Structure 1
Amino acid sequence: MSSSSGTGRSGLRPVSLDGSHILIALAGDTGAGKTSFCHALVDETPFSGEHFSQLSGPVVIPAALAGGYADLAILDSNADQADHFQTILSKSHVIVLMFDGSDPTDDYLATRRVSSYWLPLFKSLNLKVPVIIAKNKKDIPAENAALESVHAAMRNGELCANGLYLCELSVKDRQGIGLVVSYAQKSVLYPITPIFDFVNQTLTPHAARAFLRIFRCINRSCTGYLSDDELRQMQRRVFGSDFQPAELQLLKQSLKRAVAQTADSQDNGPSDDVSVAEDQSGVSFEGFLILMLRFVTQGASEAIWAFLRSFHYDDKLEIEINLPSLHHEPDQCVELSSEAVAFMTEANKQLFAVLLNTATGGLLFPSMDQPKTLEEEASSSSGQRAVPLDSVIAQYQSLALFDVATVARLFALSGYDSDDFGKLFKVSKRRALERRTNRVQRSVLQFYVFGSPNCGKSTLLKNGSAVRLQSKHTLVFREIPESYVDKVLQSREALDVPDVFVLAYDGADPYSFQYISQVYRKLVAIVPETPCVFVVTKADQDIVVQQNDESPEVFCKSRGLPWPPILTSALNDDFGSFFDSLLQVALRPQLCLPSVSQNAPGSAPCVSCPPSASNLRKIVLIGSSVVVVVGVAAYLYRRAKSN
């Protein structure tokens, strides 16, 4: 190459250390060939063998020429210039450590310097970047045994925790220069550290978990083996090409042999989980992991990242999705679309449950105080750890009210193929528009449950776990703790969320209705258009006279509210009629609206305190399935962020 720095050519140019380039730092002893390496990149004249007394300026390889998204900048260095040297290393994304392997008598010394000085130096400087070890002057023969100390250093997990790669080159003959640059670039664009544990020489737990999820997403047949069709679909999805029949058979045979060798090398013989029987024509998970490890050991890091990125993983092995903005008003809600429900329905139940229980660490089992969790229900009915599909849909739908991004991420974890995650959701119409047309079209109905202290509202909601409704609507109940009532009443945004207010009072407590009637007055003064339903709890006990300026009957009848109220009891198993009554009110709100609306006062002060799952109890009902969860949204969000 010439020294021209024109477009599309390498050249000596000013380089910014602000992150606009991929910085490749050259390190090594004097005479290793670092400066010659830089000049060889920009000068195509024959190598003269001269020694350069000054450091080379930065060599920039344009992104168009390097085949990446950013320009490459190769930075020369000299360890004798301590400040400049440490600045270069600290700013670099990758280090190329060069040593001179030309003189057999000095070769041992040069290689020992790599393991005894340079690598420990990088460790002491806390440099968390990959290192390319480059043996220069391969044109001069040297004893192979001299590299043993380098190989030993590469087996030292403490020295190579960030990744070590060994290659040979000859600056004089211009052999291997491009390979060194390519290795350096790939080590940054396709990092191995998140995938491979150099200390233990195995895949990292995070990567193994990601590959397990990918394997199960591909293995739609749930057989534990990837069929030929599944392998072809995998190849098309990841690489945009198809297997030739001979290539496919060769791959399967190679992986089966590798799996068998791995199993035979274990002390206890072949594992029960690693089947290599002749009647199994697919690729097992163990074979799939071996394929991933081959990509690592053979330096094909771009291939392994093609797998990961095609399944929405970013450089930190976190699920990365592009979700469009789903702006909605408080009286609207985000619902799962028909495409989302169809995807979940078509997915095999066993596959879906396995994905949720392993890939996300039991993401759908956060409640510890339920009388019977989803996990227990599934285990008792099938003997396996599975999740009823309707219950999964209910959980997803309830979480979508709080955290759409996490729901989209869970769909990605479950193998959703499309990049358009916006198709998974829809926003309901404004509630005022629905009521104007007397057609409630939303499938998610929300309820706030207020009640006097110790009236039994929590018990009431917990008993919903046995309810079966013949409706396709999702009912979401949120208990408003007494300590949170004032904050909710001060937020019009929060009060616009529910379709119905449920007002519970204890029939055996003479002062219970007094409390809830005051809550009602405040509610109807702010949101008179939202229906209210009075519920009497502990109806199995003797009903006492309520100490209030108006009896409950007079209070309700004078305001055009239904009377008598709904009676409930923890001893009464017929909770279906209770929840069905609330469903009918939500679908026909005019049933429980006051006959004379009170004029709402001026805009109430809005505080940033919309109800959230961290402080509200919730019960979710969908179709014929009921799920009771405590703090599910906050829990799912924390668990998803930690994965």
Structure 2
Amino acid sequence: MAGAGAGAAHAGGRTGVRIVVAGDRGTGKSSLIVTAAAETFPPNVPPVLPPTRLPEDFYPDRVPITIIDTSSSLEDRGKVAEELKRADAVVLTYACDQPITLDRLSNFWLPELRRLEVKVPVIVVGCKLDLRDEQQQVSLEQVMSPIMQQFREIETCIECSAFKHIQIPEVFYYAQKAVLHPTGPLFDQETQTLKNRCVRALKRIFILCDHDRDGALSDAELNDFQVKCFNAPLQPSEIVGVKRVVQEKLPEGVNDRGLTLTGFLFLHALFIEKGRLETTWTVLRKFGYNNDIKLSPDLIPSVAKRSPDQSVELTNEAIEFLKRIFGLFDIDGDGALRPAELEDLFSTSPESPWSEAPYKDAAEKTALGGLSLDGYLSEWALMTLLDPAKSVEHLMYIGYASDLSSAMRVTRKRRMDRKKQQSERNVFQCFVFGPEKAGKSKLLNSFLGRPFSDSHTSATDERYAVNVVDLPGGNKKTLVLREIPEDGVRKLLSNKESLAACDIAVFVHDSSDESSWKRATELLLEVATHGENTGFEVPCLIVAAKDDLDPYPMAIQDSTRVSQDMGIEAPIPISTKLGDFNNIFRKIVSAAEHPHLSIPETEAGRSRKQYHRLINRSLMFVSVGAAVAIVGLAAYRVYAARKNASS
């Protein structure tokens, strides 16, 4: 693998690099800049130079550099801070003949960069090398090693002399290189190994280049890879040389079919250790990766624009692909992906997308902590519902080769579903409301097949549970339960469109506790009112949890009155403790499929409807009256015309 290539590919699409030079007074900042730009040492230098531009052909990457000089005076400290915050890289100078200026780097300048949260590569430059006391024969490595251990943001250290033209162009070359080909994302300096995200990206690239899927890059595949990345073929002798280097250091890096993944990763670690980061960066950028080692956002197709009451679902084509991938990674054939198998499946993604909330623990796990096919597809359905762009991105990472627009479909508006009295969705989102200790979390846990526990944990954040619900006739739908903590309801309803994403709302109360029932009905009224006011009405069901306990005295009368008043079903009794769910999840899906049937009506909503009916009726009478008047006027005009004619 050669390291040649076009500058634009190296630069990651950058149009310029801004380098800010800072340091104590008299350390040689301005002389360094002038000598680099003019290639001659200036006899007189102003205290602070205006911005200096190095043309694009100054260095091989062909990216122009703007160098910003900074003042050393205290009154300009604020201006210097502003410049540092806008920098792509910082050059910190000290004078080789003034040891105190070197101490100031670790005592002031480097802590100051951290205080300002300037997170860019730092190049430490010892200027005035020609003035250093010859008695001080200490190597740069010895001097800088402790500082570099303490401040990992230092990319490199170099000594130079503007007066004697020693290593002046190199200073800004290293600074530019640190921006265009940064070490940080690729390599861990402490462990001297490739970083996890870099390994995952290179693994994906290796798989994409292994056309015959035999686990090794043949000579022809290696050559194709070289041409794609560096626009130049490899000579047969070069291929032999590359493989020999790998085989000598790592026998398993090459087999009889060619270069293995282990060998491919070893080569990149070797390039980086030898300071040839541009080689690895060229490869990553040719395959669409940005500086975060993720696919560039402009490569990820955007999901079609949609209104708030539309959602996104996977198409059958995408689901069939995901089933094939599941089968491929279910190595032991037990019908589930164990954690190690799931990690392997996502080993070409920057990280596993389901390792954190809201996806972590959102689907049903097998006894060994794995995901069944239903659980796996449920997680994908949830990710597609909540973050379609993330879903598309991860389909790309795991090798979805078809047109990505064929992987997603935007559903019909919920408003239209209500009008048509039927939903055509495959994934329904149910908001679960209810007071503290009503049994919301236990409902979600039981949906995921988790055993009942008497202990209560107060939910402070929203939580999701997703599973497949089997319906009569062999039909399957995916149901997403979203638990809304009681103290999160006000915040949720402060957004006008908050109920647009809701297919159905469920209100859970403790059937043995009257105050729990009262609070649940208050929440029901709040949600129903919000729906009426915003036009995003949602079907609602009431769930009477803890049916194993004695109901409070007026339970039946209260629940009958409220459900009849609001025109919705009577509360559905369940007991998670006894495992008696009364087909609750099927009932939720069924109500969501027929979204016109279970919409509650408030007193205000009824009055408003009655008012609109009266207005419409009045308008009808007015329009009939107007029509009569117009007809009468026309008849009079005809009569008048005839009368005039006869006279």
TM more than 0.5 = yes
Query: Who is 2:260 aligned against?
Result: 283
How far apart in 2 are the matches of 1:596 and 1:95?
67
Query: Who is 2:343 aligned against?
Result: 353
Distance 1:558 1:121, change over 3 A: closer
Structure 1: unaligned runs, 5 residues or longer = 1-18, 100-112, 138-142, 261-274, 381-385, 604-643
Distance 1:403 1:541, change over 3 A: same
**How far apart are residue 202 of structure 1 and its match?**
2.1
Alignment of structure 1 residues 207-286 onto 2, 5 Å: 208-218=195-205, 220=207, 226-228=216-218, 235=226, 238-239=229-230, 247-259=238-250, 275=252, 281-285=258-262
Q: Does 2:123 correspond to 1:130?
A: yes
How far apart in 2 are the matches of 1:388 and 1:244?
49
Which of 149, 152, 164 aligns to 2:156? It is 164
How far apart in 1 are the matches of 2:525 and 2:93?
76
Query: Who is 1:304 aligned against?
Result: 280
How far apart in 1 are the matches of 2:490 and 2:28?
74
Q: Is the 8 A contact 1:55 1:78 kept in 2?
A: no
With structure 1 as the length reference, what TM-score do the two structures score?
Answer: 0.62
Structure 2: unaligned runs, 5 residues or longer = 1-14, 111-120, 331-340, 450-466, 610-647
Distance 1:364 1:518, change over 3 A: same
Query: Who is 2:507 aligned against?
Result: 503
* The structure with more helix, counted as a fraction of residues: 2
Distance 1:66 1:338, change over 3 A: farther
Q: Does 2:391 correspond to 1:377?
A: no
**How far apart are residue 303 of structure 1 and its match?**
2.0
Which of 470, 488, 493 aligns to 2:497? It is 493
Q: Which amino acid aligns with 1:377?
A: T
With structure 2 as the length reference, what TM-score do the two structures score?
Answer: 0.62
How far apart in 1 are the matches of 2:443 and 2:412?
30
How far apart in 1 are the matches of 2:603 and 2:78?
75
What is the RMSD of the two structures over their aligned residues, measured on CA atoms? Answer: 5.7
Alignment of structure 1 residues 175-190 onto 2, 5 Å: 182-190=173-181
**How far apart are residue 464 of structure 1 and its match?**
0.9
Query: Who is 2:379 aligned against?
Result: 395
Q: Which amino acid aligns with 2:379?
A: Q
How far apart in 2 are the matches of 1:247 and 1:487?
64
How far apart in 1 are the matches of 2:526 and 2:151?
66
Distance 1:252 1:362, change over 3 A: same
**How far apart are residue 458 of structure 1 and its match?**
2.7
Which of 426, 430, 439 aligns to 1:443? It is 426
Query: Who is 2:297 aligned against?
Result: 321
**How far apart are residue 360 of structure 1 and its match?**
6.7
How far apart in 2 are the matches of 1:68 and 1:181?
12
Which of 464, 480, 486 aligns to 2:484? It is 480
Partner secondary structure for residue 191 of structure 1 = coil
State the Cα deviation string for residues 410-430 of structure 1 (Å, max 9, x = none). 557657789x98886554321
Q: Does 2:428 correspond to 1:456?
A: no
Query: Who is 2:593 aligned against?
Result: 587
**How far apart are residue 443 of structure 1 and its match?**
2.9
How far apart in 2 are the matches of 1:62 and 1:208?
34
Q: Is the 8 A contact 1:97 1:132 kept in 2?
A: yes
Identical counterparts, % of pairs: 23
Matched residue count: 530
Query: Who is 2:469 aligned against?
Result: 469
Query: Who is 1:537 aligned against?
Result: 545
How far apart in 1 are the matches of 2:559 and 2:272?
77
Structure possessing the higher radius of gyration over alpha carbons: 2
State the Cα deviation string for residues 169-193 of structure 1 (Å, max 9, x = none). 9999x99876665444323322234
Query: Who is 2:634 aligned against?
Result: none
Partner secondary structure for residue 605 of structure 2 = coil
Query: Who is 1:434 aligned against?
Result: 417
Distance 1:377 1:243, change over 3 A: farther
State the Cα deviation string for residues 79-104 of structure 1 (Å, max 9, x = none). 9x9999999998683549899xxxxx
**How far apart are residue 463 of structure 1 and its match?**
0.8
Distance 1:189 1:21, change over 3 A: closer
